[in-house]
Amino acid sequence: MRQVCGIAFFLMAIATFVPTSVLPGSEPVSSADILNHVDDLFRGSSSHATMVMKVITAHYTREMKLVAWSKGKDYSLVRILEPLKEKGTSTLKAGNNIWNYLPKVKRVIKIPSSMMGGSWMGSHFTNDDLVKESRMADDYTHSITFEGTREGTEVIELTLIPKPEAAVVWGKVVATVRKSDWIPIKIDYYGEKLGLERSMTFSDIKTLGGRLAPATMQISPADKPGEYTLVTYDDIEFDIALKDSLFTLRTLQNPEAL
Amino acid sequence: MNTMRIAWRNLWRNSRRTGITIVAMSLSTAVLIITYALMLGMMVQMEHSVTDVTVGQVQVHHRNYLKERSLYDTVDGWENILETARRDGIAAAPRAFGFGLLSSGNKSAGVQFWGVDPASEQQIGDMAKNLLKGTYLSGRPSMGVVLGRKLARTLHADVGTELVAVVQASDGSLGNELFHVRGILKSVGENLDRSVAIIDREDFASLFVLPDQYHEIALNSRGQLSPDEVAAKIRSSAGSNEVRTWRQILPGVSDMLNTSSGATMIFLVIFFLAAGLGVLNTLLMATYERIPEFGLLKAIGTSSWRILRDVSAEALVLGILSSILGGIIGTIVSLYFQYFPIDLSAFGEGFNTSGVVISAQWGALLTLRGIIWPIVIMWLVSVLAALYPAAKAARLDPVRALTHV
Amino acid sequence: MVIIRLAWRSLWRNRRRTIITVSSIALGITLALFLISMAEGMYKKLIDDAVRMNAGYVTVENKEYARAPSVDLVVPSVSAIESLALNIPAVKSVKVLIVGQAMISTGSGSIGVGLIGVDPALERALSPIARTITQGRYIQEDDERGVMIGSGIAERLELEPGMKLVVTCNDSTGELVNEMLRVTGIFTTGMEEAYGYLIQVPLGVARRIFSIGPDEATQVGMVLSSPDRQNEVIALLKKDLAGGNLAVLPWQEVMPDLAGFMAVDKGSNYVFQGIIIFLLSFTILNTILMSVLERNREFATLLALGTSPVLLRCQVLIETMFIGLLGCGLGLGIGGSISWYFHTYGLDLGSLFGENLTITGFAVDPVIYNYIGVDLFAWLGGLVFLLTMLIGLYPAFKSTRFSIVDVLRSR
């Protein structure tokens, strides 16, 4: 029930801004360029970020402090710092596989395919979201469907339709970005029958690690009003030197090593 | 009464014929009683094999639980329900359910955890005795787990294997604990074999952060009351929770049992037919032999009505004698099979499906109805069988009757 | 011989008694025949349906597969095994199966399913899934992304034919893979374990998803035209496949639940048949004995006139034989015709048992086709005839054990 497109959470953690040859305003705008920008906003050679994740559901409210490292698009490691009860719980992603480390029992478990639909750490993200590699521009056909002012801001709206063979569950994705700097404001995900399934909203745009990016991101399921997961960046560093050995099971089991 | 005394004497005048007839009728009666008892035993046993393993006769759930199996839809006021059950002498087992992962080395599987109270479970059913290996959970929470057979295989787990349990707890955190395998169940049906992991309810509470809450209460009167009676008793204290009999919960199995009962009924009817015809045949022959006799009686002035009455009386006496004899034999043999069931294991081990374990032992069940019905049928048949030829004789011309073959 | 004619005539002198006795035997046989053929018919159908829907009467799979099924335990050189099997005359067709676990997701959620890859052309004729399609159509071999889903799954994930779902699973190398498939059709076989849990795809799709080679599969099953030759087929296959890490299994091992049910059911049937035969024997004894005893006077006269007792006893025996032959013949004739009728037109028990008949999770077609076979007739007829003769011995013996004088003098 809580699947969200992969770009979402992990892109935040893996962020980097790759300057493209197309800067907003300098040449005619194509939807592909915008999408690539959005994708690249959260991608790069490596990153290290700290953030706070707050989850509100009908049954509980959680707040976690997390630290995350990423290298390229294949490797990432996330660790819970707070609350104390869960400190040290970590998730390692390598390629298409995910492992969790559980400090209480000191064991590593690999997430089997049957659990991929399960929620990650109780949030509205799923394990599956963490490995989804869909680049918006590759898996979807896209076009600009609106340019103008909405709620006082100049925006460009893009509509993405999944390509016939793409392994994505959505029927349609609508992304709205700021016209001035192509920073995303909102991404809506629709099911195959084109009912809204969930929305991702971005806010709190500030300079982080030398880039202009939204520091806060919220995911809300459409069928559960009042529920959402909110991720707020405290700090990010980009393009730092990270050893490959950071993203191994051995490091996963060894929280102190970092 | 005079008629009866005459009937009695008539019968014993040809003791051989009467003897054979009585033996035939008693045996048929006895066989019918035994067959009925066996069939009833089979049907009752089938029902018990559903209710007495783990399903129970009646189950109580939160009204939304069965739709989505949400961890949060627990039974309100379960203490009341348990109290009511206890008062009425019905065994009750509270259970908590949650989904999660069990992992051992690089093998893992999605499982359904059952948080149970081992003592109550053993009162309510025989699942604890259905172990392939190891033991059931002890009374104290000790991080032990009992696995379904196929689950154990998938995890390559044996008694003593250490397993990591990872679940999403009720507060959203990642519940995780280490468990050790205490026992592995025998096959009880595809779903359970593949996905069930039984743990102590207190271990469940700490794993899922769900103390003192249950998703299901299973109730079993162990044969004292019918499922509907149990449901009626419990409903009063169930509040907004839903009370269902096992037939409503497992319609597929209920259908299957109905099928078996249906088939059994057919067999029974056929048997009654066969037995009835046997008796009919015997009596017809006996009576036909006597037509010359009736002819003689008519010739000396006995009215047709009188002949009929005498024959009926004889049939009645025969009937009474054979029912007593047949009843005794039938009862003794049925009771024997009730306490020493027929062992069909030469044919097969028994089988399992959907939580139902059907054994290869076949016990009979003797009931008052099971004795009375066969007897009544025998009487009916004997009267009919005796009357027909007698009526025929009564209508015949005495001369013809006398020379009747 | 004279004695034969005498026996025959004496039978018909008391026509009624003879008819009653003969019809008792006939009735008993008819009942027994009908019941047995009905039960046999039901078993055969049950097994046939079950094996067709699963892995055949005889299954070839990896040795380790039964212990812990997984997609990396494959059967190699499937086509070679196929041609090998088809050369055996008792084998009607060969099914190739790929079975695995997966998770499927849509925008509304995700659930764990069992995924089965089949040859649609073959499966269309065999599988209940193809017969119970409620929406859409059955898959075809060239459906690159086609999938059949159970109605339970369709309901939970809000799917209709044409809509897409994403399959996520671990393939044969352990890698996590995703594939998009579109619903071709929705089925509802009547067993919850199927329509709530199973999805079916063409073999090519399964191979692609699980990264299995073009000539590999998890199971190869043989459907037999003559199921009684099962052991023969197993022996032949074992011989040719010796030395590999393949196991050749009978369906009883692959589906022990079903085998168990049938065994217990058969056992109870034997008990019932035993009871019927017992009742029958008793009736026979009863009537023949009575007929003999009633003729005391007649026999006494004959003996007084000098007939040898042995001859008389023989006559009684021959009478019994005639009765047996007539009874058996009649019984087999009537019982056989009834069974033949239901063999051809089927006995519809649907009205008695309700439409959703399932046994150990296999949906049973409530129409039963009685089994007719020479072996059944011969066995039943022979048994009853033999029984009759044995029973007839006692009355024959008793027929001359009396004092001639006493009998002649009394009435």
Residue numbers in B near A58 (CB within 8 A): 72
Instruction: Report the alpha-carbon distance of residue B368 to residue B41 in Å, rounded.
Output: 13
Residue numbers in B near C31 (CB within 8 A): 270, 273-274
Asked whether residue A243 is domain-assigned, the answer is no
Work out the minimum CA distance from C169 to partner chain A, whole angstroms: 5
Q: Please report which confidence band the pLDDT of residue B354 belongs to, taking 50, 70 and 90 as the band edges.
A: low
Instruction: Report the alpha-carbon distance of residue C238 to residue B260 in Å, rounded.
Output: 38
Alpha carbon of residue B106 to chain centroid: 45
* Closest CA in chain A for residue C114: A114
Cβ contact, residue pair B178, A109, below 8 Å: no
Q: What pLDDT sits at residue C362?
A: 52
Q: Where are the beta strands (DSSP E) in B138-233?
A: 144-147, 162-168, 174-185, 196-200, 216-220
Asked whether residue A254 is domain-assigned, the answer is no
Asked whether residue A61 is domain-assigned, the answer is yes
Q: Where are the beta strands (DSSP E) in C266-373?
A: 347-348, 358-359, 362-363, 367-368
Among C21, C267, C358, select the one facing B348 at the smallest CB separation: C267
Q: What pLDDT sits at residue B179?
A: 95
Task: Provide the CB-side half-sphere exposure for C312 (13 A, CA).
Answer: 22
Cβ contact, residue pair B353, C261, below 8 Å: yes
Instruction: Report the alpha-carbon distance of residue C4 to residue C16 in Å, rounded.
Output: 20
* Closest CA in chain A for residue B104: A109
pLDDT tens string C379-388: 777 888 888 8
pLDDT tens string B85-104: 988 889 999 999 999 999 98
pLDDT tens string A20-79: 333 444 455 777 788 777 777 666 678 899 999 999 999 999 999 999 988 887 888 999
Among B278, B285, B351, select the one facing C360 at the smallest CB separation: B351
Q: What are phi and psi of B22, to 5 degrees?
A: -60, -45
Which of B70, B106, B111, B164 to mutate: most A Cβ within 10 Å?
B164
Instruction: Report the alpha-carbon distance of residue C349 to residue C165 in Å, rounded.
Output: 39
Residue A248 three-state SS: coil
Ranges A165-179, B158-172, B344-358, C260-274: which has the least confidence: B344-358
Instruction: Report the alpha-carbon distance of residue B144 to residue B141 in Å, rounded.
Output: 7
Q: What are phi and psi of C280, to 5 degrees?
A: -60, -50
Residue C79 three-state SS: helix
Check if the beta carbon of residue C90 is closer than 8 Å to that of residue C233: yes
Residue B116 scores a pLDDT above 80:
yes
Residue numbers in C near B31 (CB within 8 A): 275, 278-279
Average pLDDT over residues C130-141: 88
Indicate the pairing of strand B174-185 with strand B162-168: antiparallel
Cβ contact, residue pair B351, C280, below 8 Å: no
What is the percent of chain B where pLDDT is above 90? 25
Give residue A92's identity as a one-letter amino acid code: L
Query: Which residue from B120, B198, A223, B255 is spatially nearest to C366, judged by alpha carbons?
Result: B255
| Residues spanned by the domain of A19 | 7-235
pLDDT tens string A180-197: 888 889 999 998 888 899
Among C103, C106, C179, select the one facing A114 at the smallest CB separation: C103
Check if the beta carbon of residue A172 is closer than 8 Å to that of residue A185: no
Q: Which chains touch A (3 or more CB pairs under 8 A)?
A: B, C
Among B110, B166, B171, select the one facing A109 at the smallest CB separation: B166
The interaxial angle of helices B304-339 and B291-299, nearest 10 deg, is 150
Work out the minimum CA distance from A109 to partner chain B, whole angstroms: 7
User: Across the strands, what pairs with A208?
Assistant: A211
Place of tokens 């009771």: B335
Task: Report helix, strand and coil shares of chain A as percent, to nearest 5.
Answer: 15, 45, 40
Q: Is the CB of B43 inside 8 Å of chain C's CB atoms?
A: no
Average pLDDT over residues C259-271: 75
Work out the minimum CA distance from B16 to partner chain C, whole angstroms: 8
Window C:210-239, CB contacts with B under 8 Å: none
Among C257, C349, C353, select the one facing B351 at the smallest CB separation: C257
* Closest CA in chain C for residue A93: C176
pLDDT tens string C186-196: 998 766 666 77
Burial class (CB in 10 A: 0-12, 13-18, 19+), C185: buried
Q: What is the pTM of this model?
A: 0.78
Residue A17 scores a pLDDT above 50:
no
* Closest CA in chain B for residue C22: B281
Specify which of B178-187, B265-274, C12-21, C298-307 reaches the highest per-range mean pLDDT: B178-187
ipTM value greater than 0.85: no
Residue A2 scores a pLDDT above 50:
no
Q: What pLDDT sits at residue B102?
A: 93
Asked whether residue A26 is domain-assigned, the answer is yes
Place of tokens 């005639």: C322
- At A114, which CATH number? 2.50.20.10
Taking the alpha carbons of B390, B396, B397, B399 in that order, is the dihedral positive or negative? negative
User: Across the strands, what pairs with C224?
Assistant: C91
Query: Which residue from A99, A93, A65, A101 is spatially nearest to A6, judged by alpha carbons?
Result: A93
Query: Which residue from B363, B362, B349 is spatially nearest to B186, judged by alpha carbons?
Result: B349
Among A58, A85, A118, select the one facing B173 at the smallest CB separation: A85
Work out the minimum CA distance from B260 to partner chain C, whole angstroms: 9
Q: Is the CB of C409 inside 8 Å of chain B's CB atoms?
A: no
Residue C312 scores a pLDDT above 80:
yes
Among C16, C260, C280, select the one facing B351 at the smallest CB separation: C260
Element (DSSP H or E) covering residue A24: none
Averaged pLDDT of chain B: 83
Q: How far is CA C358 from CA A89, A102, B57, C180, C226, in A?
A: 47, 44, 21, 33, 25
Q: Is the CB of A131 inside 8 Å of chain C's CB atoms?
A: yes
Residue B19 scores a pLDDT above 90:
no
Residue numbers in C near A165 (CB within 8 A): 145, 180
Q: What pLDDT sits at residue A219?
A: 93
Place of tokens 């706070």: A52
Instruction: Report the alpha-carbon distance of residue A20 to residue A213 in Å, rounded.
Output: 15
Element (DSSP H or E) covering residue C243: none
Average pLDDT over residues B192-214: 92
Number of domain units in chain A: 1
Maximum alpha-carbon separation in chain B: 104
Place of tokens 């006893």: C313
pLDDT tens string A117-144: 888 888 998 887 777 755 566 778 888 8
Q: Please report which confidence band the pLDDT of residue C167 belongs to, taking 50, 70 and 90 as the band edges.
A: very high
Average pLDDT over residues B249-265: 74
Residue A19 scores a pLDDT above 50:
no
Q: Is the CB of A192 inside 8 Å of chain C's CB atoms?
A: yes
Place of tokens 């280490």: B178
Q: Please report which confidence band the pLDDT of residue B290 belongs to, taking 50, 70 and 90 as the band edges.
A: confident
Q: Is the CB of C169 inside 8 Å of chain A's CB atoms?
A: yes
The CB density around residue A67, as the number of other CB atoms within 10 Å, is: 18
Q: CA dihedral defined by B198, B204, B207, B209, rounded to 10 degrees?
A: 150
Alpha carbon of residue A62 to chain centroid: 19
Q: If you compute the radius of gyration of chain A from its CA atoms, what whole number of angstroms results?
A: 18
How many DSSP H helices and E strands does chain B contain? Answer: 15, 14
Q: Name residues whose C-beta falls within 8 Å of residue C364's C-beta, 6 or more positions apart in sequence.
A: B259, C42, C45, C46, C49, C357, C358
Instruction: Report the alpha-carbon distance of residue A200 to residue A12 in Å, rounded.
Output: 12
Work out the minimum CA distance from A157 to partner chain C, whole angstroms: 22
Task: Provide the CB-side half-sphere exposure for C35 (13 A, CA).
Answer: 27
Taking the alpha carbons of B191, B197, B199, B202 in that order, is the dihedral positive or negative? negative
Cβ contact, residue pair A105, B101, below 8 Å: no
Check if the beta carbon of residue A235 is closer than 8 Å to that of residue A210: no
Q: Which chains touch B (3 or more CB pairs under 8 A)?
A: A, C
The interaxial angle of helices C256-294 and C296-304, nearest 10 deg, is 60
CB environment C280-289: b (16+ within 10 A), e (fewer): bbbbbbbbbb
Place of tokens 């050749």: C248
Residue B307 scores a pLDDT above 90:
no
Residue numbers in B near A109 (CB within 8 A): 101, 103, 108, 164, 166
Check if the beta carbon of residue B167 is closer than 8 Å to that of residue B99: yes
Residue B177 scores a pLDDT above 90:
yes
Q: Which two tokens stand for residue B148?
A: 């379904």
Q: Please report which confidence band the pLDDT of residue B360 belongs to, taking 50, 70 and 90 as the band edges.
A: low
Q: What pLDDT sits at residue C130?
A: 84
Q: Is the CB of A138 inside 8 Å of chain C's CB atoms?
A: no
Which of B29, B108, B192, B285 to mutate: most C Cβ within 10 Å?
B285
Q: Name residues whose C-beta falls within 8 Å of residue C406's C-beta, 6 or more positions apart in sequence.
A: none
Asked whether residue A181 is domain-assigned, the answer is yes
- In total, chain B counts a number of residues equal to 405
- The DSSP string of B49-113 is HHIIIII-SEEEE-TTHHHH--TT-PPTTHHHHHHHHHHTT-EEEEEEEEEEEEEETTEEEEEEE
Cβ contact, residue pair C271, B273, below 8 Å: no
Q: What are phi and psi of B122, to 5 degrees?
A: -75, -20
pLDDT tens string A197-235: 989 999 998 888 778 888 999 999 998 889 999 999 998
Check if the beta carbon of residue C289 is closer than 8 Å to that of residue C394: yes
Q: Please report which confidence band the pLDDT of residue B238 belongs to, taking 50, 70 and 90 as the band edges.
A: confident
Query: Which residue from C91, C359, C38, C30 is spatially nearest to C221, judged by alpha carbons?
Result: C91
Q: Which two tokens stand for residue C255?
A: 């589906």
Q: Please report which confidence band the pLDDT of residue C16 belongs to, taking 50, 70 and 90 as the band edges.
A: confident
